[in-house]
Structure 1
Amino acid sequence: MGVKGLQYFVDHCCPGVCVTVNLREMATQHVARSTNKANSTGPTLVVDGMACLRHWYSCKDWVCGGQWREYMDMLKSWVEAFTSAGIRLVFFFDGVVEEKKRQEWVKRRRRVNGEISKIFRHIKAHGEQPGREFFCLPSGLATFTPFALRLLGQEVFCTMQEADYEIASYARQHGSMGILGQDSDFIIYDSAPYLSVAKLRINSLTTVLYDRQRFCQATGLTVIQLPLLACLLGNDVVSEEKMQHIRNNAMATYRKNSPASHSGTPQGQMVLAVSQFVSSLWCRQEEDTGHILESLNLSAPHRELLKRGICSYLLPGQKALQQGDISPPPSASAFEKYVSPEILKACREKHVAAEGFMVYNIVCEGIIECSNTLEDEEDAELLPQALVYKPCRQHIYGLLLGHDGSTVDSPAIREWFVYPGNPLKEPDMVHPVPVSFPCDHPSVDLLWFGTGPDVSALRLTSFLTVFDCLEFSELYGTIEVSLLAALCLVTYIVLQVQTLSQEDVDAYLSHSVCLSIKSPQELQQIKLPFLSSRAVQLGSLYVRGLSHLLGANCASGCPLPSAALMPWHSFDGRLFHSKYLLAHSGTEKTVLLDSNPFHLSLFLHLREKLAENCRKRGRVLQSRPRSSTPEQSHKTTPGPRYRDRHTGWPSGGGRGWRGRGEVTGGPRHGGGWRERGEERSDQSEYENRERLWERGGQHFYPHSYPDCHSGGPRSTSNPPKQFRGGSYRSRGRYQLAPRWSQPPGPGT
């Protein structure tokens, strides 16, 4: 990200630009300067959230899927360090990937894929997490962190265009004391001072300020000349390769005119050489940027690209090129005609406020993307997460874009999902699939804006149907919302991934049940004898599934509180990994459930519900225990002992998803697992079917669902009530939004 070589230049070749500052003192000085200014809001730091993720997530374990409760504690402490100093924080997160930066995005995703391959080779060779030099962010961190910060009472924005641009615009417009990030583009923008998050010392609140005026003095440029310098060096808009010949000529001239400077590093020489070249252009053309570009030895397309790159640094109210801004005006998406203006407005508002997920990108852009996931490209047994959740996404598309349940005329969504085997040369074109409601198909407007118990029931029906789990509606109000969501997710994974075993399910469910009473400190103390590469993948698969739960919940009008779908309530990588190893070693269920009788009963109840749902769809789980020794656990397919009696292939693998032709990952209608006739598992251990589960003030509420045969609602004594979330508050370390106690609605 940023300008090629510029960050290195200011850090290593231009020390005068780097000024160590104390943010408390900066805040005091900012208040003094702003005392007599109208609309002064006090010292505000605009935070580039994406640049901070690596610094926020400093938990020891990252490869297992994320230590989410520990991460929440770290975020809370980080925020409190600033608020205690009287500094207001405003966070921005990337909301879209602009098409002009798509190739750069693809290039980075491919590079990270190579790093992930090294991670899995290390795990399989050593049975342990690699060192920090291989560090990769846990899947979903960028998705869930905005929700975490909102939960902590912070102001969070999700961008509708390039994040750097919106950050710089906000900081300039509101007179912020600085921008906290790690992107050299913030040197180029004529905005608030650029402060380094990489050099931030949170205990003392000191960091490095990259002084824009000192940088201009060191390079002999003015602030208005910096955008051209950035584009000639290469950035996300203008690739390094396209301006190579200009830089070569500039370097030749620099070495000829400044022989004494040859001792500097090549990166430093390049920045100085191009700076001298830019300065010489202005001397000849009297600061007419448009004519300067015309004088360059560039083809017409490259000249237009350079104009676009320069314009990308011009903030609102700043002087544009005399040639005009050639950026195309925003146009209405072809997808917008499939929804009402009210839905469009709500999508945009949710997106900007970081309250929604997926819906804006589908309805207003017709394109979504998903970055790298910890998946082993050499393991042909487990289906990639992008393909596992593709049927779910197709139903979400159908829910949002379908008219009266029909998606015949709905256009395909362009998906840029990173997964093994996808070269990312072009997007996958994925068509919406209608959701099969047990009654008349409700409109999105009804789901989002309707009121009354019948609409609340429809929202829940919509959400559960996306995951083919409508039978679980009877559990709503009897168990924690996070447990209901976990049950839906695990059931969906079982239906989509034929290699999932009973032991895998036991690991997922026991982990979800036991997590509720674990503190961050207890989770950190869990000891893992070794790591399983397969468990690593299953952990990441689950967390990616949580984001799909969130997307389906948003599309359905939010029948469940979004906070209950967050990973710090439903997942911990270290705990899941420990349960996986125990389940596959044949551990007794009592031990698997921490010798807690209530947890054991709850676990068996959920296990039976899952098995019952799957049996109705022709999917019967098999027991396929994996070896408990690290050496054998590194194998990607089990030995002949576990061969499937019907196919002759090793159970849980053999041909793998590539060999089965499941690359498309499309929805299964009557085929696939429905026709496989797999072995039945042993009878469930659940013995108390009629027990009601009452924890933390939770009670069973009778439901009112539309009668799909009579066309009207069933007559019941009470409408469905929103789960009150009391146990979260009684257990919780974080204050949850008050709307948890309100009836579900589109703004939840």
Structure 2
Amino acid sequence: MGVKGLQYFMDRCCPDVCVIVNLREMARQHIANNQKGCSATDPTLVVDGMACLFYWYSCKDWVCGGQWKEYVDVLKSWVEAFTSAGIRLIFFFDGVVEDQKRQEWIKRRRRVNGEISKVFNHIKLHGEQPGKELVCLPSALATFTPLALRSLGQEVFCSVREADYEIASYARQHGCMGILGQDSDFIIYDSAPYLSVAKLRLNSLTTVMYDRQRLCRTIGVAVTQLPLLACLLGNDVVSEEQMQHIRSGAMATYRRNNPPPRSGAHQGQMVQAVAQLVSSFHSREEEENELVPEYLNVSASQRELLKKGIYSYLLPEDKGFELFDISSLPFAFEKYVSPEILKACREKHVAAEGFMVYSVVCVGVTECSNSMEDEVDTELLPQALVYKCCRQRIYGLLLLLGQNDTNVDLPAIKEWFVFPGNSLKEPDMVYPVPVNLPCPQPSLDLLWFSTGPEVSALRLTAFLSIFDCLEYSELYGEIEDSLLAALCLVTYIVLQVQSLSQEDVDAYLSQAVCLRLKSSQELQQIELPLLSSRAVQLGCLYVRGLSHLLGANIASGCPLTFSALMPWHSFDGRFFHSKYLLAHRGVEKTELLDSNPSCLSHFLQLKDKLVETCSKRGRVLQSRPQTPLPKTTPEVRYRDAHSGLPPNVCDGWRGRGETTGGHRRGQEWRDRSEYENRDRPWGRGGHRTGGQHFNSFHPNDGRPSNMSQPPKQSRSRSYHNRERYQLAPRWLQPPAP
């Protein structure tokens, strides 16, 4: 995010713009300045939550899936540092990816894939987590951080348009003390002072404020010209490539007038050169009221794009704002739900309590960023495909798709999910699937707004049916909600992923049962002899599953408490990794359960229920211990590894026509619910050869298929155009010497 090169320019080339401030002193001055008014306002900082994630997540472990209890403790300490100084915090998180910024989002996701690949290469080579030079935040951190902050009593908002815009708008409208983030867009908006979270010193509450007026004086542009400067330099609306010819011309002129060594570093030169060009327009009286000066050498389409980019920086009360107001855009699926549901979806979303429902019902688009998955290890399905059936049922529940619905006008959700093999050239069009309920489909209004024991039972039934775990209703109230949620999730994974073994299930369930008795301090003391890339993927798969549990719970009317679905109550990456290593080493169950009789009893209860449920569906768990290789031991490579696919990986599978070899226009994946063996890392940031074969089945004509019939399977051709080698599953490798 931000203006290309501007942050670097301010930090490295323009020291006068960077002013060190003490936030306590700023708070005192803010109170003093407001005492003359009708009422003094609390000194408030608006926090860009997405920009802070990297600075908040300071836990030792990140690759295993997140040390969530410790992370919540870190957030608590961070919040207390401000509240003890009398500073109120308002947090904003990205709630949507706007169409105009989709290509920039895709570009970042592809870059992160490369970083993730490097992480897995490091783990396989060294058996340990990479150093600070290569860090990827845990998957779903952006999903659960807003809920963690809410649990700490903080005010949290999720945006319905570009978060930077909503942050700047809120800060100006409420006269806030400043915006805390790390995005140069905040110096372009005419809003509150922009404060750096990267330069924040929590113990002293000091940071750097970027002075807008000083910046304009230094580079010689008017404040009103900052949006044009931002667009010519390149931002999320106007890409660098689209204005390259303008910058090249400006740079040539600048270098003629400022020969080396006076010209300075390239990044600094670029900002100065474009600023010099922009300032030249200000001297022409006829250009002063033009958003895009006529003298600027751009095509008609580029001129319109520049106008769009400039409008994106206009806030309410700014001149021209009414030309770009999008508040009246129609809802995507308003004909499928009531006005009350639409209103509730938006309210839940804005309050950071409506994960998935707003994006589906009101926007018709949903996305998931990078996950910790290894694109060269094909043993595990990508999480996007594992949970696709779950999402389809959630869509069916939200959009009132009945079990006998033959309506030809079914809505399709645009899914932008990042997973190995998906080029992201276009969204997957995913259709809703009916939830297989033992009763007539209840209306969403009934599930969300009605009360009474019958409605409560309906909510639980709808939730469990999404995961094909209706038998577990008898456990409701008998075991903790967090354990019921964990059981549903692990059962669903077992039914979808045929390569999941008894040892994997033991690791999942044992850590969920034992975690309740562990403090964050105890979890931090866990030492791992080495890391398993497979366990890293399984940890990510579980956490992504928790987000789907959250979406299903909201769609069903919240039969379970929010806290029961939070990772800090049912998952710790390092703890899970330790259980995985123990389970695959074949230790006794008493040792796996920390020699705790109560934990052992709960574990056996959950395991028995899971095995019984899976057996009814023809899924029999096999023991398949895997011994991770010691450090520096090279892994054996093999050709053409392929494994079987789940017989019921996606009931009611839908596709947009026949798929061949799992490809979408060449090498992309099309709507299919399976992808043969694999691994992979996270969401809004992050980083990352083989004649592999994928099994796929051919979708029907686009209508819901018979959910009682397993899909047909077929051997597909290679996912890549050229034959490559890949890492062998560890049970196929020769024993280490």
What's the TM-score once normalised by structure 1's chain length?
A: 0.86
Query: Cα offset for 1:286?
Result: 4.8
Specify every segment of 5 or more residues in structure 1 that has no aligned partner in the other structure, as ranges. 677-748
Distance in 2 separating the partners of 1:549 and 1:637: 37
CA shift in 2, pair 1:579/1:177, >3 Å: same
Quick check: 253-262 or 473-482, which moved more?
Answer: 253-262
Residue matched to 2:415: 415
Tell me, yes or no, if structure 1 residue 48 matches structure 2 residue 48. yes
- What code does the residue aligned with 1:236 have? D
The CA distance in 2 between the partners of 1:609 and 1:65, in whole Å, is 26
Q: Distance in 2 between matches of 1:637 and 1:662?
A: 28
Matches within 5 A, 1:488-567: 488-567=488-567
* Structure 1 partner of 2:117: 117
Q: CA deviation at 1:282?
A: 1.4
Q: CA deviation at 1:639?
A: 13
2:346 paired with 1:348? yes
Q: How far apart, CA to CA, are the structure 2 residues paired with 1:106 and 1:28?
A: 43
Using a 3 Å threshold, how does the CA distance of structure 1 residues 234 and 160 change in structure 2: closer, same or farther? same
Give the direction of change, closer, same or farther, for the CA distance of 1:176–1:325 in structure 2 (3 Å limit): same
- Find the aligned partners of 2:708 and 2:392 in 1 and give their Cα distance: 17
Give the AA of the match of 1:212.
R
Deviates more, 1:524-533 or 1:31-40: 31-40
Partner of 1:375: helix, strand, or coil? strand
**Which amino acid counterpart does residue 513 of structure 1 have in structure 2?**
V
Alpha-carbon distance between aligned partners in 2 of 1:281 and 1:643, rounded to the nearest angstrom: 64
Q: Which amino acid aligns with 2:389?
A: P
- Where relative contact order (Cα < 8 A, 6+ residues apart) is larger, the structure is 2
Contact 2:125 2:633 in 1 (8 A): no
**SS of 1:90's equivalent?**
strand
2:224 corresponds to which residue? 224
Q: Residue type of the partner of 1:149? A: L
> Structure 1 503/260 Cα, relative in aligned 2: closer, same or farther at 3 Å?
closer
Report the counterpart of residue 368 of structure 1 in structure 2.
366
In 1, are the aligned partners of 2:401 and 2:433 still within 8 Å (CA)? no
1:270-419 correspondence to structure 2 within 5 Å: 270-286=270-286, 288-290=288-290, 292-320=292-320, 325=323, 330-405=328-403, 406=405, 408=407, 409-419=409-419
CA contact (8 A) 2:69 2:520 kept: yes
Q: Is contact 1:127-1:634 (8 Å) kept?
A: no
Report SS of the residue matched to 1:462: helix
Query: Which whole-Å CA distance do the structure 1 matches of 2:253 and 2:333 have between them?
Result: 52
Kindly indicate whether the alpha-carbon contact (under 8 Å) linking 1:333 and 1:364 is maintained by their aligned counterparts in 2. yes
Give CA deviations for 1:376-411 in whole Å, capped at 9, x if unaligned: 000111000000000000000000112444373321
* Deviation by residue 1:536-594 (Cα, 9 ceiling, x = unmatched): 00000000000000000000000011111000001000000000000001111110000
- Three-state SS of the structure 1 residue aligned to 2:122 is helix
Residues of 2 paired with 1:41 and 1:563: CA distance? 33
**By percentage of residues, which structure has more helix?**
1
Name the residue aligned to 1:686: none
Cα deviation digits, residues 232-288 of structure 1 (max 9, x gap): 000000011111111111112222233477441111111111111111111113553
CA distance in 1, matches of 2:156, 2:569: 21
CA deviation digits over 1:283-342, x for unaligned, max 9? 113553437433321111110000000011111001128xx8367774313411100000
Which residue identity lines up with residue 450 of structure 2 in the other structure?
G
Quote the residue 2:655 is aligned against. Answer: none
Structure 2 partner of 1:614: 614
Task: Find the residue that maps to 1:153 and give its secondary structure.
Answer: coil
The secondary structure found in structure 2 opposite 1:157 is strand
1:159 maps to which residue?
159
Separation in 2, partners of 1:573, 1:471: 29
2-structure distance, mates of 1:366, 1:307: 27
- Quick one: structure 1 residues 173 and 334, their matched pair in 2 at CA, closer, same or farther if it must change by over 3 Å? closer
Q: For 1:232, what is the secondary structure of its paired residue?
A: helix
Three-state SS of the structure 2 residue aligned to 1:207 is strand
- Correspondence for 1:68: 68
Indicate which of 695, 708, 717 corresponds to 1:660: 695
CA gap 1:276/1:254 in 2 versus in 1, 3 angstroms: same
- Equivalent residue letter for 1:659: F
Maintained 8 Å contact 1:396/1:555: yes
Distance apart, 1:200 and its partner CA: 0.3
Q: Provide the rounded CA distance (Å) in 1 between the counterparts of 2:607 and 2:562.
A: 24
The residue type paired with residue 139 of structure 1 is: S
Q: Secondary structure at the match of 1:294?
A: coil
Change (3 A) 1:60 1:435: same
Tell me, yes or no, if the aligned pair for 2:585 and 2:627 is still in contact at 8 Å.
Answer: yes
Spell out, residue by residue over 1:141-162, the C-alpha distance to the aligned partner (whole angstroms, 9 max, x if none). 0000000111101000000000
Distance in 2, matches of 1:543 and 1:407, equals 35
For 1:92-137, what per-residue CA distance to the aligned partner results, in whole angstroms no more than 9, with x for missing partners? 0000000000000000000000000000000001000001111111
- 2-structure distance, mates of 1:668, 1:506: 33
Q: Which amino acid aligns with 2:60?
A: K
Query: Contact conserved, 1:618 with 1:674, CA < 8 A, in 2?
Result: no
Give the partner amino acid of 2:513.
V
| Aligned partner of residue 130 in structure 1, secondary structure | coil
Cα deviation for residue 357 of structure 1 reads 0.7
What is aligned with 2:668?
none
Structure 1 match to 2:257: 257
Aligned to 1:461: 461
**Deviation of 1:631 (Å):** 5.7
- CA shift in 2, pair 1:353/1:658, >3 Å: farther
Whole-angstrom distance in 1 between the partners of 2:375 and 2:426 = 20
1:660 to partner: Cα distance: 1.6
Kept after mapping to 2: 8 A contact 1:618/1:675: no
How far has the Cα of 1:527 moved from its partner? 0.9
Over 3 Å counting, the alpha-carbon distance change for 1:643 and 1:662 in structure 2 is closer
Structure 2 contact 16–214 (Cα < 8 Å) conserved: yes
SS of the residue aligned with 1:45? strand
State how far apart, in whole Å, the 1-side matches of 2:576 and 2:442 are: 38
Question: In 1, are the aligned partners of 2:109 and 2:370 still within 8 Å (CA)?
Answer: yes
Q: C-alpha separation between the residues in 1 aligned to 2:299 and 2:356?
A: 39
Aligned residue type for 1:314: L
Q: Show CA shifts across 1:183-205 (max 9, x none).
A: 00011111100000001000110
**What CA RMSD, in Å, does the superposition of the two structures yield over aligned residues?**
2.7
- Summarize the Cα distance change of 1:632–1:489 in structure 2 as closer, same or farther, 3 Å threshold: farther
Supply the distance in 2 between the matched residues of 1:657 and 1:149 (Cα, whole angstroms). 43
Q: What are the residue-to-residue correspondences of 1:34-45 with 2, within 5 Å? A: 34-45=34-45
Q: Which amino acid aligns with 2:102?
A: R
Question: How far is the alpha carbon of 1:667 from its aligned partner?
Answer: 8.8
Q: 1:450 to 1:643 in 2, by over 3 A?
A: closer
Aligned amino acid, residue 622 of structure 1: Q
Offset at residue 41 of structure 1 (A):
2.4
Mapped partners of 1:297, 1:101: distance in 2: 24
Deviation at 1:86, TM superposition (A): 0.2
Which residue of structure 2 aligns with residue 241 of structure 1?
A: 241
- Matched to 1:306, the amino acid is L
Aligned pairs for 1:122-161 within 5 A: 122-161=122-161
Amino acid at match of 1:160: V
Distance 1:664 1:630, change over 3 A: farther
Q: Partners of 1:263 and 1:288 in 2: how far apart?
A: 29
Specify the code of the residue in structure 2 equivalent to 1:660.
N
Deviation at 1:669, TM superposition (A): 3.6
| CA shift for structure 1 position 659 | 1.6
1:723-743 per-residue CA deviation (whole Å, 9 max, x = no partner) reads xxxxxxxxxxxxxxxxxxxxx
Percent identity, aligned pairs only?
71
Output the CA distance in 2 between the equivalents of 1:26 and 1:522. Answer: 39
